[in-house]
Structure 1
Amino acid sequence: MIKDKNQFRIVFMGTPEFALTSLQYLIDSQYNVVAIVTVPDKPAGRGLKIIESPIKKYAKENNIECLQPEKLKADDFVQTLTNLSADLFVVVAFRMLPETVWSIPKYGTINLHASLLPQYRGAAPINHAIINGEKITGVTTFFINKEIDKGNIIDFEKIEITETDDAETLHDKLAITGAALLLKTIDNIRNGNITELKQDNIITKDLKIAPKIHKTDCAIDFNKDINVVYNFIRGLSPYPGAYSNIYRENKEPLFIKIYKTKINNNYSGECIPGNIISDNKSFLYISSKNGWLEILELQIASKKKMNIKEFFNGNKIDENSYCFNLEI
């Protein structure tokens, strides 16, 4: 017998804004979310203020039980989950679950991943898809098993990556597309109308991964092709942010994060990687090995993000300035 939505018991697990969109879709669709699992509160920022995850804030506002385990294998946490008698666990942007957790529900545990699996398994699929210059990406729902992002696929949905998308705009598109796909997937599970696809049966010539991005991965290499540099910057914008250093005569290097650029096809000056051309008023161009990037939005250390005109209010670029990263 098929259960009604309000009788189909779901435990939702997630942390960031990406997960919040999916949770809101489930609640608005009248699914019975009996509990939410998210990360423990933690101090952040200069004042080390205790920060709650977006998922916890939503749980409090909507009077939904919220669990914040330090250890996912803890006996008391596993017992609490078991006592909830959930039909399904739903995971969006959370931690790797032990088998003692994902094996609890009658219908298993499903995950929403922000790529077209098996491509871009890992923690940062949105960033890596843009960095690699992909034109198409998407979202996938799958059953969790013992290996990260390798469970049987239930469904997927493709979307286009535009030339001007960055990690933020693509994130927002995928959050909405993913929430709709997740809702469709849960409806089909509840109705007994799914067909599982093993990822090993998907033929792919070039399997790309999406590991977590660290600060040391974010240094811009202007020795590369102009399109590679352009994609690298937008793939890391706004977080964690691609960076470089501007070296000026008789001044300390100026650390900058670059958030928004465009390829300038109108300037034909000689391309020497890292060279800077500017009028100190309205434009700042930086050369790659075969083209020029116009910098539109950036940030210097201890300052807010700013457009190029705001940057020139307090900063000047001399004739021999250049960009370079010691890390590369």
Structure 2
Amino acid sequence: MILHKLRIVYMGTPDFAVLPLKKMVEAGFEIVGVVTNPDKPAGRGQKLQESAVKQYAREAGLKILQPEKFRDEAFLAELKALNADLQVVVAFKMLPEVVWNMPRLGTVNLHASLLPDYRGAAPINWAVINGEKYSGVTTFLLKHEIDTGNIIFQQKVDISDTMTAGELHDMLMETGAELLLKTVEAMEKNDFPALDQKDLLKGRTPQAAPKIFKDDMRIKWDEEIDRIYNLIRGLSPYPAAWTELENERSGEKYVLKVFTTEKIYREHANTPGSFETDGKNFVDVFVKHGIIRLKEIQLSGKKRMTIEEFLRGFKLHEYRFL
């Protein structure tokens, strides 16, 4: 194993950030500290839940820091005492300059898009929602404005017409872990590019990837078939696109999450949002220029299920999609 000299502090929280950390540990880099979110209550019992990164760091015997606030003097003193040469950030919160500017080599971030496009909180979801044919990962140096720092390396990946955000997430996680390893090795040798994102923009406005809110996730059945299909796969499996079912007699409403669909191009004269079903095997919702065939769904209060399972216990013919 190569003997690495860099002292590295790693910052991350969700599953996406575990594999890059694991790769760095396995490559022999000295991870002197791992910064992750504080434990939070979750589930019905509201038991404290450790982040995915904390779970791995604890198993690997790494020092763990969980600050409530990044400007807390005790945390800053503890961080400084680690004497890191470099900080690495993957899927983490915004950092104040007092934190990201602390190491001599600065702080490098792994972002799940080909910057400068899809800056923001949800690059994976928006790339699929917008029907992009490819995405990728970028490593760059942090500076004041979010996701605008100088680019070190990028790696492109293709997005198929059926790929979900979850599948793209896993692909980018694997690709990103390798790219981050390459980046840290280059920075250790002090031999790496630092491309200004303005040179890539050439005056155009980049695609954005803002935080996704509940109304962004609602299926609008009067939209065009590709837009609806891409929205559903772009939010699958999380946070999931949703619609409402209303009982035409009682007015009772249910929220229905939609995870998997099939699109069928077919011109028709049916009202968008109306549907047909045999009550056993299929539900076809009519939209502009075709049909969205529901495959996997989840009724509020129930588990995720196939459309066949759903139809066995639900009298859909009494309802309409809102």
Query: Common fold, TM-score beyond 0.5?
Result: yes
Give distance in 2, aligned partners of 1:51 and 1:307: 30
Match of 1:171?
Answer: 169
The amino acid that maps onto 1:127 is N
Match of 1:260?
Answer: 260
Structure 1 runs of 4+ aligned residues shifted over 3 Å read none
SS of equivalent to 1:193: coil
SS of equivalent to 2:38: coil
Of 89, 93, 109, 1:91 maps to 89
SS of equivalent to 1:101: helix
Give distance in 2, aligned partners of 1:97 and 1:82: 15
Match of 1:226?
Answer: 225
- Checking the alignment, whether the CA contact within 8 Å between 2:268 and 2:289 is kept in structure 1 is no
Match of 1:104?
Answer: 102
Give distance in 1, aligned partners of 2:138 and 2:233: 23
Give distance in 1, aligned partners of 2:217 and 2:210: 13
* 1:287 Cα deviation from its structure 2 partner: 1.4
Of 185, 188, 199, 2:186 maps to 188
Match of 1:57?
Answer: 55
Give distance in 2, aligned partners of 1:16 and 1:310: 32
Q: Deviations for 1:150-174, whole angstroms, at most 9, x for unmatched residues?
A: 1111110000011111110000000
SS of equivalent to 2:78: helix
* 1:268 Cα deviation from its structure 2 partner: 5.5
Q: Deviations for 1:163-207, whole angstroms, at most 9, x for unmatched residues?
A: 111110000000000010000011111111111111112135341
Match of 1:80?
Answer: 78
Give distance in 2, aligned partners of 1:5 and 1:141: 23
Structure 1 stretch 156-165 or stretch 4-13: which is displaced more? 4-13
Q: Deviations for 1:68-122, whole angstroms, at most 9, x for unmatched residues?
A: 0000011111111111111110000001111111111111100000001010000
What is the TM-score when the length of structure 1 is the normalising length?
Answer: 0.94
Match of 2:315?
Answer: 316
Tell me how large the CA RMSD over aligned residues is.
1.3
Q: Deviations for 1:200-228, whole angstroms, at most 9, x for unmatched residues?
A: 12135341111111222211011111000
The amino acid that maps onto 2:263 is I
Structure 1 stretch 200-209 or stretch 170-179: which is displaced more? 200-209
* 1:5 Cα deviation from its structure 2 partner: 4.3
SS of equivalent to 1:19: helix
What is the TM-score when the length of structure 2 is the normalising length?
Answer: 0.96
Give the alignment of 1:40-51 within 5 angstroms.
40-51=38-49
Match of 2:143?
Answer: 145
Contiguous gaps of at least 5 residues in structure 1: none
The amino acid that maps onto 2:232 is I
- Checking the alignment, whether the CA contact within 8 Å between 1:275 and 1:321 is kept in structure 2 is no
Give distance in 2, aligned partners of 1:269 and 1:321: 21
The amino acid that maps onto 1:263 is K
Q: Deviations for 1:121-141, whole angstroms, at most 9, x for unmatched residues?
A: 000000000000000100000
Structure 1 residues 5 and 316: alpha-carbon distance in aligned structure 2, compared to 1, 3 A threshold: farther
Give distance in 2, aligned partners of 1:88 and 1:285: 53
* 1:270 Cα deviation from its structure 2 partner: 2.6
Give distance in 2, aligned partners of 1:5 and 1:78: 28
Contiguous gaps of at least 5 residues in structure 2: none
* 1:302 Cα deviation from its structure 2 partner: 0.7
Structure 1 residues 213 and 288: alpha-carbon distance in aligned structure 2, compared to 1, 3 A threshold: same
Q: Deviations for 1:268-296, whole angstroms, at most 9, x for unmatched residues?
A: 54332110110010000111122100000
* 1:234 Cα deviation from its structure 2 partner: 0.5
Give distance in 2, aligned partners of 1:186 and 1:6: 10
Give distance in 1, aligned partners of 2:196 and 2:294: 44
Give distance in 2, aligned partners of 1:209 and 1:83: 37
Matched, 1:31 2:29: yes
- Checking the alignment, whether the CA contact within 8 Å between 1:256 and 1:300 is kept in structure 2 is yes
- Checking the alignment, whether the CA contact within 8 Å between 1:271 and 1:289 is kept in structure 2 is no
Give distance in 1, aligned partners of 2:255 and 2:55: 35
- Checking the alignment, whether the CA contact within 8 Å between 1:130 and 1:231 is kept in structure 2 is yes
Match of 1:126?
Answer: 124
Aligned length: 319
Match of 1:289?
Answer: 288
SS of equivalent to 2:137: strand
Match of 2:210?
Answer: 211
> Identity of aligned pairs, percent?
45
Give distance in 2, aligned partners of 1:276 and 1:248: 14
* 1:255 Cα deviation from its structure 2 partner: 1.5
